[in-house]
A and B are shown apart, each in its own frame.
Chain A
Amino acid sequence: MIEMEVVYSRPESFTPTTTHYCPGCTHGTAHRLVAEVLDEMGIREKAIGVAPVGCSVFAYDYFNHDFVEAAHGRAPAMATGIKRVRPNNTVYTYQGDGDLASIGMAEIVHAAIRGENITVIFINNAIYGMTGGQMAPTTLPGMRTTSSPGGRDVETMGYPVRMSEMLSTIDGTSYAVRRSLHNPANVRKSKKAIRRAFEVQERGMGFAMVELLSSCPTNLKFTPQQALDFVGDQMVSYYPLGDYKVAPEVKALKV
């Protein structure tokens, strides 16, 4: 007899669906980490996700729990409305960089200011994906995009914004960290951070955000491996990985 052991299976928080994401895109990885965390914490049945506008606009097709679809950038406001009237549910937003750091800047900052007891998963891939590769607020200096064809000129187009650092300055933020999805070691670290961010909410400790540096091979015109290397080399040097705000009570959490 050969002994069989299950080493990999679909989390219960996932639907049996193939995603529409491009080969080499890390949205699928980020989704899976969230689903695994919801399973491990046993909170799938009370989870309510808030999907953004962007490539992950159909995130709700892949998660096996309640979901709403927000307008562009407004996910933190919508999540606030849900959490305030259903405080016993676990409410999280899943947002890209255009959604969270550009059009939704006011909503994310004020959700943090209020110490809103929600979890935010922030996908930073330095580009607008769904609309076809335009410059994002997080596009690196000099990066060519369809709306910065000569490369991002910081003199006229401004500088990339570092959201984790920015939100760490806000008293209402309990947890703001940056991780990356460009290799297995960092994926594992990302999952731990996501787990902690949900634990923060479950314990009523306030606002938690995990920023995940991600790849967009299609719009950056890279192969999947090149795209991951770009994240690991270029993006990590502009957006250093690390814990920007970990409130003392969050630090004390045993996860």
Chain B
Amino acid sequence: MTKELMKGNDAFAEAAVRAGVEGFFGYPITPASEFLEYMAKRMPELGRAFLQAESEIGAIHMVYGAACAGVRSLTATSGPGLSLMSEALSYIAGTEVPAVVVNVMRGGPGLGNIAPSQSDYNQMVKGGGHGDYFPIVLAPATVQEAIDHITLAFDLADKYRSLVFIAVDGNLGQMMEPAELPPMRVLPEEPPSWSVYGAKDREPNILTSIYIDPPDEEVTNIRLLRRWMEVEKNEIRYKEYELEDAEIAVISFGVAGRICSSALRTAREEGVKVGMIRPITLAPFPTEAIRELSKRVRRILVVEMNTGQMLNDVKQAVGGRVPIEFYGRIGGITPLPDEILEEIHRVNQNTEDIADGQEKVEWLERLEARIERGDQ
């Protein structure tokens, strides 16, 4: 085992290089810039394409072009950049070419701040761009997982000719943790048959997202949906923690999920029968696993670093079977284990039913009381 202590963004970038990325196109944005800086040095060393574009719009359309040319290509950005990229993301999905986007999430909306956040859940999971399309969204919680997800993202992107997001937050991008990098992928000698590389001894390849006759677009939409159903069948990933005898369950993703796992450990030591599901694919969402879980536990606590975006997907999975409570920190604040522990104890003792929507009202009251106390 040759573990190295690497900074998250650097480790992800090197992992991308080893996953065979031949085109990186980006634009500086905190807290994702180290990714760009790493690639600026590394890609030319290997004779691969690196370019700092004029904008995130330019960057993602370059990714789109390189993807059409049949090479593994990606960009790394943060929320404001991702908003600008929304146009091309829809085109990439509509053209059915593989591409990977790393989103190092920060506080928003607007310019927001540069502190860690998970507030781009809806933007990625629900599409962000126009039209009916279904990106795959991976949410690693450790540097090692993020490294592994880069390779996974490209494999999934290639397999389904799909857009894949890797959703991390500034914590993961900035932190160091021992991790092992994958071996260098041998670059393919032949471009994919569908890509554009010159129509020599074959019919031209045309890559477009226009289907001007509605029946053609309908067939395309059906194809995209059918492919997504395949993804849903094959690619749902999540991690379970201490669920065997759990009476209450935490559902949380990414860094929030790993913080919950610390609180979980302490709560267990204190005798609370609590477990957790940490969705690794936010899309496709582990709906079935959560539905099954809701038959076994008496209460669920959803923890996110946003105002409850995944919460809606959990609710849909649970279908009102058990009460769901929510705890979130927002605006770029990362919750700490002690406040999650407090929540776990509270939820464990709470036997009252909770009306749909009430969980947010009560959470806000608790959060505002915390802010009032100056207890950040």
Q: Do chains A and B touch in the complex (CB under 8 A)?
A: yes
Q: Is the beta-carbon distance between B54 and A106 smaller than 8 angstroms? A: yes
Binds B, one of A67-75, A131-139, A141-149, A227-235: A67-75
Are A77 and B208 in contact (CB-based, < 8 A)? no
User: Given B22, B66, B67, B198, which contacts A66 in the complex, CB threshold below 8 Å?
Assistant: B198
Residue on A nearest B88 in the bound complex, by CB? A71
- Report whether B196 and A66 are in contact in the complex, using a CB–CB cutoff of 8 Å: yes
Residue numbers in B under 8 Å from A47 (CB-CB): 198-199
Stretch with Cβ within 8 A of A (4 or more), from B55-63, B117-125, B226-234, B252-260 = B55-63
Assess the A81–B206 pair: CB atoms within 8 A. no
B144 within 8 A of A: no
In the assembled complex, which residues on chain A have CB atoms less than 8 Å from the CB atom of B22? Answer: 85
Cα–Cα, bound, A68→B53 (Å): 20
A residues near B (Cβ < 8 Å) are 44-48, 50-51, 57-58, 60, 63-71, 74, 77-86, 89, 106-107, 109-110, 113-114
A82 in contact with B199 (CB, 8 Å): no
Q: Are B62 and A81 in contact (CB under 8 A)?
A: yes
| Shortest distance between the CB of A118 and any CB in chain B (Å) | 10
| Assembly CA distance A83 to B63 (angstroms) | 11
Of the candidates A58, A74, A85, A109, the one whose C-beta lies within 8 Å of that of B61 is A74
Using a CB-CB cutoff of 8 Å, which residues 70-84 of chain B contact chain A?
Answer: 71, 73
Contacts of B71 in A (CB 8 A): 85
Say yes or no: A77-B210 contact (C-beta < 8 A), given A46-B198, A63-B204, A84-B51: no
CB of B207 closer than 8 Å to a CB of A: yes
Given contacts A60-B208, A68-B207, are A45 and B62 in contact (CB under 8 A)?
A: no
> Contact between B204 and A67 (Cβ–Cβ < 8 Å)?
yes
- Does B107 interact with chain A (Cβ within 8 Å)? no
Number of interface residues of B (CB under 8 A): 40
**CB within 8 A of B65: which of A45, A64, A68, A106?**
A68
Q: Tell me whether B262 is interfacial, beta carbon within 8 Å.
A: no
Q: Does B25 contact A (CB under 8 A)?
A: yes
For B53, the chain A residues whose CB sits under 8 A away are 77, 80, 110
Contact status B199-A78, CB under 8 Å? no
Asked whether, in the complex, the Cβ of B54 is within 8 Å of the Cβ of A110, the reply is yes
Contact at A107–B61, with CB atoms within 8 Å? yes
- Residue on A nearest B87 in the bound complex, by CB: A71
Residues of A contacting B25 in the complex (Cβ-Cβ under 8 angstroms): 81
Q: Which residue of chain B has the shortest Cβ distance to A113 in the bound complex? A: B54
Known interface pairs A48-B196, A81-B73. Does A69 touch B62 (Cβ–Cβ under 8 Å)? no
Are the CB atoms of B58 and A82 closer together than 8 Å?
no
Verify A45–B58 contact, CB threshold 8 A.
no
- Judge whether A44 and B199 touch: CB under 8 Å: yes
Among B62, B68, B88, B204, the residue within 8 A (CB) of A80 is: B62
Contact B51 A82 (CB under 8 A): no
Contacts of A79 in B (CB 8 A): 65
A65-B204, A67-B196, A106-B57 known; A81 vs B63 contact (CB < 8 Å):
yes
Other-chain residue from A51, A66, A77 in contact with B62 (beta carbon distance below 8 A) = A77
Among B57, B66, B198, B205, contact of A81 (Cβ-Cβ < 8 Å): B66
A81 and B204 in contact, given A57-B210, A106-B57, A110-B53 (Cβ under 8 angstroms): no
Q: In whole Å, how far is A73's beta carbon from the nearest beta carbon of chain B?
A: 9
Count contacts between A and B, CB distance < 8 Å: 136
| Chain A proximity of B233: nearest CB distance (Å) | 31
Q: Which 9 A-B pairs have the closest CB atoms?
A: A81-B65, A81-B62, A69-B208, A77-B61, A110-B54, A78-B65, A84-B49, A66-B196, A46-B198
Q: Which residues of B contact A80 (CB under 8 A)?
A: 51, 53, 58, 62, 65
Q: How far is the CA of A81 from the CA of B60 in the complex (A)?
A: 9
State A140–B212 Cα separation when bound (angstroms): 31
How far does the alpha carbon of A58 sit from the alpha carbon of B213 in the complex, in Å? 13
Within 8 A of A (CB), among B180-227: 196-201, 204-210, 212
**Which residues of A have CB within 8 Å of B200?**
45-46
Q: CA of A71 to CA of B58 in the docked complex: distance in angstroms?
A: 11
A106–B61 Cα distance when bound, in Å, is 12
> Which B residues touch A68, using CB under 8 A?
65, 68, 95, 196, 206-208
Roughly how many angstroms separate A46 CA and B201 CA in the complex, as a whole number? 11
- A45 → chain B, closest Cβ, in Å? 4
Most buried by A among B49, B55, B65, B66: B65
- The verdict on B23 contacting chain A, using a C-beta distance below 8 Å, is yes
Contacts of A64 in B (CB 8 A): 199, 204
Q: How far is the CA of A58 from the CA of B210 in the complex (A)?
A: 9
Taking the complex as formed, is B29 at the interface, i.e. its CB lies under 8 A from any CB of chain A? no
- By beta carbon, the residue of chain A nearest B205 is A66
Instruction: Determine the distance from Cα of A84 to Cα of B24 in the docked complex, in whole angstroms.
Output: 10
A65 to chain B, nearest CB (A): 5
- Report yes or no: A69 in contact with B196, Cβ–Cβ below 8 A: no
With the chains together, A80 CA to B49 CA distance in Å?
10
The residue among A44, A58, A71, A79 with the most chain B CB atoms within 10 A of its own CB is A71
Q: How far is the CA of A58 from the CA of B209 in the complex (A)?
A: 11
The interface bits of chain B over 81-96 (1 if a CB of A lies within 8 angstroms of the residue's CB, else 0) are: 0000001100100010
Given contacts A71-B87, A71-B88, A110-B54, contact A66 B61 (CB under 8 A): no
Taken residue by residue from 340 to 369, chain B's Cβ proximity to chain A (1 for < 8 Å, 0 otherwise) reads as 000000000000000000000000000000
Known contacts A66-B205, A106-B58; A82 and B198 CB within 8 A of each other: no
B197:A84 contact, CB within 8 angstroms: no
Closest to A66 in B: B196
Q: Determine if B54 and A107 form an interchain contact, defined as CB atoms under 8 angstroms apart.
A: yes
- Smallest CB-CB separation from B25: which chain A residue? A81
> Does B243 lie at the interface of the complex (its beta carbon under 8 Å from any beta carbon of A)?
no
Q: Tell me, in angstroms, the Cα distance from A48 to B197 when the chains sit together.
A: 7
Closest to A43 in B: B198
Q: Complex: how many Å from CA A83 to CA B62?
A: 9
Closest A-chain residue to B62, C-beta based? A81
Interface residues of B in 1-44 (CB under 8 A from A): 22-23, 25
